[in-house]
Chains A and B, each alone.
Chain A
Amino acid sequence: MPIPFPFSAVVAQEEMKRSLLIAAIDPSIGGVLVFGDRGTGKSTAIRGLAALLPKMRAVDCTYNCDPDAPEDALCADCRAKKGPLKSRQVPVPVVDLPLGATEDRVIGALDLERALTKGEKAFEPGLLARAHRGFLYIDEVNLLEDHLVDSLLDVAASGENLVEREGLSIRHPARFVLVGSGNPEEGELRPQLQDRFGLSVEVKTPQDLPTRMKVVRLRDEFERDPAAFVHKWKSKDAKVRKLIEKAKDLLKTVTVPDATLEDAGRLCIKLGTDGLRGELTLIRAARALAALHGDTEVTQKHLKSIATSALRHRLRRDPLDESGSTSRVERAVVELFGA
């Protein structure tokens, strides 16, 4: 596998980097959608993040079950085992869903090799199983085939994958953080899928010379000698990893006062977001952000800072409002909480 560009060496794009970190700190937020200009380091940042994520404890089973999970979140093998589950440290899986993937590889199917050579029926887990407890990354998510999107939505909503094939009936946990990237020029994303993403980020090409130079220079250096470049950035990447670890520990103790809950509610009402998902995500994201900053209480400051990322993709399109959804959220934040 080619060496990924280090996460900490990605220049600018602060909102994208912050959102990815928040999704890594609290997987229940529901992932990140990165939409924007070509050549802005969307997939570079995601692959870079994969390389630095702290390891996790997992049972030695097909699905990397969490040893501390309640029984109904375990796979069939782990449930059948008696006594405490043995676990080991494994890297957090970051699984690519490439375009052109077929349904059998995504949701899992019969093991072709064993069927052909031994005439046995055996289940071969797909990408969704591999992504359990980790990240599922879809580049060019807006070009994904509709039928794949449908199966994805179903699994993402239930946290469980159900496979019925050749008389096999398999049910296994599949909880993953969905990370999608794409370019709006190539087509819009279906609103149902858009809503599944916790945070949404818009990236733009930096327009100032020093930043652009820095990007070009770093990229040039990386391409000349990737290994040396990664080594050079190793300590900075390690710092980011520590930051994630610390925030993950802190997350459980971060409190959300009633005043903040009320603020979040007021903001969602003002923007007219559908359902409660927006509000829930806003609170969770603000809590993860507080943890990232080392704060123990979620305040209006955190809400204000994360509101655009958490809400901009949940607004109903208003044909009479010509400004984009980003500025609509920003406007509402200023009107409610002041600049």
Chain B
Amino acid sequence: MSTAVVTGERPPQAASPWEDAVLAAALMTVDPIGTGGVALRALAGPVRDQWLSIMRDLQPEDAPQRRIPLHVSDGRLLGGLDLAATLSAGRPVAERGLLVEANGGVIELAMAERIAPGTVARLTSAFDFGEVVLERDGLAMRNPSRFALVALDEGVGEDEGLLNALSDRLAFHLELTHIRVHEAIACDYDAADLLDARTRLPSVTITDEQIEALCGTALVLGIPSLRASIFACRAACAAAALAERSEVTDADLSVAGRLVLAPRATQLPPMEPPPDAEPPPPEPEEPDQNQNQNNEQQEPQELEDQILEATKAAIPAGLLAQLQMGKLRRSRSRATGKAGAVQNAQTRGRPAGVLHGEPRAGLRLNVVETLRAAAPWQRLRREERARSGQPSTRIEVRQDDFRITRFKHKSETTTIFVVDASGSSALHRLAEAKGAVELLLADCYVRRDKVALVAFRGQGADVLLPPTRSLVRAKRSLAGLPGGGGTPLASGIDLGMILADSVKRRGGTPVLILMTDGRANVARDGSGGRTRANDEALAAARVVRSLEITALVIDTSPRPQQQGRDLAREMGAVYLPLPHADANSLTQAVRATSG
């Protein structure tokens, strides 16, 4: 395989992040539809501006370039009825949406980390089918919409980022955060080169062995989505076209590995691959096609190792460290907002579109939208009135036209405290927990949140305080909370979870806060025995995670124990050892969790 890399390329590992970023812009331009586009993670700044201006300059002259703002309306995004033109022309005139206008070009998506799932779904359906299907305002149309997307992700930290549905459809994931301004300079390509590469692209061939190597690499790196493997193939072909070749070479494969596979890696390849890990599938029907290509003879396994090498070099250092610590990224949808899940409401909150309906029971009439809805029908209605001999009013608005504003507001948060009142959690801890609940309650009064309290001791668990905002009731039931006895941890978690589930069903957002030392010694049926009690507690914790309830485990033992940590991990909860928990620090921790 040493003969393979004699194409005069620089060794794949040597490319700087900036060079790779520019290369991604070029490859996206060579095959905009095949690669989907770029997820660009960077804060606004000179480096991002430089990359964007290079990317824009690389586009063919006649290619449209559009920018989609964060809160784009459906009418603007997909198209709809152009009311002004419709009224003046006296017949329906359609307005083209951004997605249709951008056909054959590039769309920049601003602040993509905050974009709503609904907007993403509209984008991705245009992506998947290459057209926008419009069924709006009395119009039914299909318009071609093929474009590449540059999603500008300004997220900070692990939790903020593109929705998976979007990032999955973009071949290249770039991070410009660590590139210095003076590194971000020029680009070696010009638009004419890329146009040539585009015409060359359809004739570029990729062998089965190369496809196998890319797929194998994706598997080894723990990349579940098949789109990644498909993108890797497209990127390799585009790289070959860009380098004026008609066959994909090793250099192209490592480009695909670096730009497409590396940023998606969720696990590190095993250090010593077991010999029988990837038996090459037997393909007796395909004897060696005698192509004079010097990498044809390579075994897929060898090729795969080679891609893996290049890919590994491109995996960001932070990720490596995280993966080694066993902190595998869980494939969980990233919420675009914070805290309390957003809910539809009719009377308060942020306006979120309009709805056909009557303004009653406190619903607010949207005058502008109502007039818009009435406008096209004016002629018809006037004639109708004239026929029936009634005098015509200036504007004929009818019940059908009424539009009401729909609002969204954050749903109410209910904080559920599950407190270990057993003998092992010394009594003064209980006093601290009580203090924290009282403090929180005062805070909740301001935030319009609710609090509930579950205590477990002896044989089982009780709801001491159902969800409430009443300070007086809370104080009274807390004061009567006794301590001592065994630790039926599983029963406590069960009860807290059932409470959380019922809050969820009513449309609220539960936050579960478990205060315990994690030393379970009473099973669900009330019998003793540490092992069984502990197993049951861990099982109960897993259910909490499966219901995706936000949780916080506060370890109240004098010295933080492994048990508490295990419990938090199984629960998918934040773990907070507070050997000397006091009411104030508890409150702060809770506020941080529930946002």
Task: Indicate whether B355 reaches chain A with its CB closer than 8 angstroms.
Answer: yes
Which residues of the partner chain A approach B128 to less than 8 Å between Cβ atoms? 43
B379 touches A119 (CB 8 A): yes
Partner-contacting stretch, out of B85-93, B173-181, B468-476: B85-93
Cα A103 to Cα B373 in complex, Å, equals: 13
Are A210's CB and B281's CB within 8 A? yes
Compute how far the CA of A146 lies from the CA of B225 in the bound complex, rounded to whole angstroms: 30
Report B-chain residues with C-beta under 8 Å of the C-beta of A72: none
CB nearest neighbor in B for A11: B226
Given contacts A101-B136, A105-B138, A165-B400, contact A220 B233 (CB under 8 A): yes
Is A253 at the interface (CB under 8 A from chain B)? no
Please tell me if the beta carbons of A216 and B226 are within 8 angstroms of each other in the complex.
yes
Contacts of A39 in B (CB 8 A): 168, 225-227
A147 contacts chain B at the CB level, 8 A cutoff = yes
Asked if A1 contacts B142 (CB within 8 A), the reply is yes
Residues of A within 8 A of B138 (CB): 104-105, 109-113, 124
8 Å CB contacts to B: which residues of A189-213? Answer: 205-207, 209-210, 212-213
Q: Cβ of B230 and Cβ of A143 under 8 Å apart?
A: no
A106 located at the interface, meaning its Cβ lies under 8 Å from any Cβ of chain B in the complex:
yes
Q: Is the pair A209, B164 in contact by a Cβ cutoff of 8 Å?
A: no
Q: Which residues 111-168 of A have a CB within 8 angstroms of B?
A: 111-113, 115-117, 119-121, 124, 126-127, 139-140, 143, 146-147, 165-166
Residues of B within 8 A of A60 (CB): none
Q: In this complex, what residue of A is CB-closest to B212?
A: A213
Q: Is the CB of A96 within 8 A of B34?
A: no
For residues 4 through 45 of chain A, which have their beta carbon under 8 Å from a beta carbon of chain B? Answer: 37-40, 43
B90 touches which of A116, A146, A165 (Cβ 8 Å): A116
| Interface range for A | 35 or more
Give A97 to B202 CA distance when docked, in angstroms: 34
Contact of A115 among B136, B215, B380 (CB under 8 A): B380
Contacting pair A209 B216 (CB below 8 A):
yes
Stretch touching chain B among A179-187, A234-242, A283-291: A179-187
Residues of B within 8 Å of A166, CB to CB, are 377, 398, 400
B140 located at the interface, meaning its Cβ lies under 8 Å from any Cβ of chain A in the complex:
yes
Contact partner of B125 among A111, A139, A210, A212, CB < 8 A?
A139
B122 sits at the interface (CB 8 A): yes
> Residue of B at shortest CB range from A217?
B211
A100-B78, A166-B400 in contact; A38/B164 too (CB < 8 A)?
yes
Contacts of A147 in B (CB 8 A): 355-356
Residue of A109, A119, A120, A165 with most chain B CB atoms under a 10 A cut-off = A119
Supposing A207-B219, A217-B208 touch, asked if A115 and B117 sit within 8 A by C-beta, the answer is no
- Alpha-carbon distance between A332 and B82 when the two chains are bound, in angstroms: 57
Asked if B539 is an interface residue, CB under 8 A from chain A, the answer is yes
CB of A112 within 8 A of CB of B92, answer: yes
Contact present for A213 and B211 (CB under 8 Å): yes
Compute how far the CA of A133 lies from the CA of B503 in the bound complex, rounded to whole angstroms.
Answer: 41
Contact with A along B135-151 (1 / 0, CB 8 A): 11111101000000000
| Residue in A103, A105, A112, A209 whose CB lies within 8 Å of B356 | A103
Question: Are A220 and B333 in contact, with the CB atoms below 8 A?
Answer: no
Assess the B226–A102 pair: CB atoms within 8 A.
Answer: no
In the complex, A127→B140 CA distance in Å? Answer: 9
Are A112 and B400 in contact, CB atoms less than 8 angstroms apart? no
Closest to A124 in B: B138
A105-B379 CB under 8 A given contacts A186-B117, A207-B219:
no
Cβ contact of A116, chosen from B135, B376, B547, cutoff 8 A: B376
Report if A262 contacts B (CB, 8 A). no
**What mask results when residues 193 to 221 of chain B are scored 1 for a CB within 8 Å of chain A, else 0?**
00000000010001010011011101100
Given contacts A99-B125, A116-B92, contact A216 B230 (CB under 8 A): yes
A186 engages B34 (CB within 8 Å)? no
- Interface segment among B102-110, B409-417, B427-435, B494-502: the answer is B494-502
What CA separation (Å) do A115 and B130 show in the bound complex? 32
Verify B215–A319 contact, CB threshold 8 A: no
| A322–B546 touching, CB < 8 Å | yes
Say which residue of A97, A183, A210 sits within 8 Å of B165 (CB atoms): A183
- Measured CB to CB, the closest approach of chain B to A317, in angstroms, equals 8
Q: Smallest CB–CB gap between A37 and chain B, Å? A: 7
B contact residues around A1 at 8 Å (CB): 131, 142
Residue pair B134, A115 in contact (C-beta under 8 Å) = no
Task: Verify A212–B215 contact, CB threshold 8 A.
Answer: yes
Q: Tell me, rounded to whole Å, the shortest Cβ–Cβ distance linking B152 to chain A.
A: 21
Most buried by B among A127, A139, A216: A216
Interface of A (DSSP majority class): mixed
The answer to the question of B95 belonging to the interface, with a C-beta cut-off of 8 Å to chain A, is: no
Residues of A81-107 at the interface with B, using a CB-CB cut-off of 8 Å, are: 96-106
Nearest CB of chain B from residue A280's CB, rounded to whole Å: 27
Q: Is B582 an interface residue (CB 8 A)?
A: no
CB of B164 within 8 A of CB of A185, answer yes
Query: Which residues in A have their C-beta under 8 angstroms from that of B135?
Result: 97-98, 100-102, 105-106, 126-127
Least CB distance, A251 to chain B, in whole angstroms: 32
B118 contacts A by Cβ under 8 Å: yes
Contacts A37-B225, A98-B134 given; does A319 touch B34 at CB 8 Å: no
Min CB gap A84→B, angstroms = 32
- Report B379 CB to chain A, min CB distance, Å: 5
**Of A100, A213, A320, which is within 8 A of B215 by CB?**
A213
| Minimum CB distance partner of A38 in chain B | B168
Known: A105-B140, A166-B398. A143 touches B118 (CB 8 A): yes
Q: Does A215 contact B (CB under 8 A)?
A: yes
Given contact pairs A187-B117, A212-B215, A212-B219, A98 touches B125 in the complex (Cβ within 8 A) = yes
Once A113-B92, A215-B226, A319-B498 are accepted as A-B contacts, the answer to whether A224 and B202 lie under 8 Å apart by CB is yes
Would you call A219 an interface residue if the criterion is a C-beta within 8 Å of the partner chain's C-beta atoms?
yes
Per the 8 Å Cβ criterion, residues 211-260 of B in contact with A are 211-212, 214-216, 218-219, 224-227, 229-230, 233-234
B92 partner residues in chain A, CB cutoff 8 A: 112-113, 116
A38 touches B546 (CB 8 A): no
Within residues 212 to 238 of chain A, which ones have a CB less than 8 A from any CB in chain B? 212-213, 215-217, 219-220, 223-224
CA distance A110 to B128 in the complex (A): 32
The one of A139, A209, A224, A319 that contacts B501, using a Cβ cutoff of 8 Å: A319
- A215–B398 CA distance with the chains assembled, in angstroms: 55
Say yes or no for A275: interface residue by CB 8 A criterion: no
A1 to B344, CA, bound (A): 35
Would you call A99 and B225 a contact (CB within 8 A)? no
Chain B 45-81, CB within 8 Å of chain A: the 1/0 string? Answer: 0000000000000000000000000000010011001
Q: What's the minimum C-beta distance from B584 to chain A, rounded to whole angstroms? A: 34
Smallest Cβ-Cβ distance to A208: which chain B residue: B219
Shortest CB distance A219–B (Å): 5
Partner of A110, one of B216, B344, B377: B377
How distant is B371 from chain A, measured CB to nearest CB, in Å? Answer: 16
Q: Given A143-B121, A212-B215, A322-B546, do A116 and B91 touch, yes or no (CB 8 Å)?
A: yes
Interface string of B534-562 (1 = CB under 8 A from A): 00000100110011000000000000000
B445 contacts A by Cβ under 8 Å: no
Smallest CB–CB gap between B207 and chain A, Å? 10
B24 to chain A, nearest CB (A): 20
Would you call A216 and B117 a contact (CB within 8 A)? no
With A98-B133, A105-B139 given, can you name 13 additional A-B contacts, CB distance below 8 Å?
A: A37-B225, A39-B225, A39-B227, A47-B129, A102-B137, A112-B138, A119-B379, A143-B121, A185-B333, A207-B224, A220-B206, A319-B498, A322-B539
Interface residues of chain B, those whose CB is within 8 Å of chain A, are: 34, 74, 77-78, 81, 86, 90-92, 117-118, 121-122, 124-125, 128-140, 142, 163-165, 168, 202, 206, 208, 211-212, 214-216, 218-219, 224-227, 229-230, 233-234, 278, 281, 331-333, 344, 355-356, 376-377, 379-380, 383, 398, 400, 494, 497-498, 501, 539, 542-543, 546-547
A-B contact pairs, 9 of them (CB 8 A): A100-B78, A101-B135, A112-B81, A112-B137, A183-B165, A205-B226, A212-B229, A220-B234, A319-B498
A-B residue pairs, 7 tightest by C-beta: A112-B138, A105-B135, A185-B333, A101-B135, A39-B227, A98-B133, A140-B121
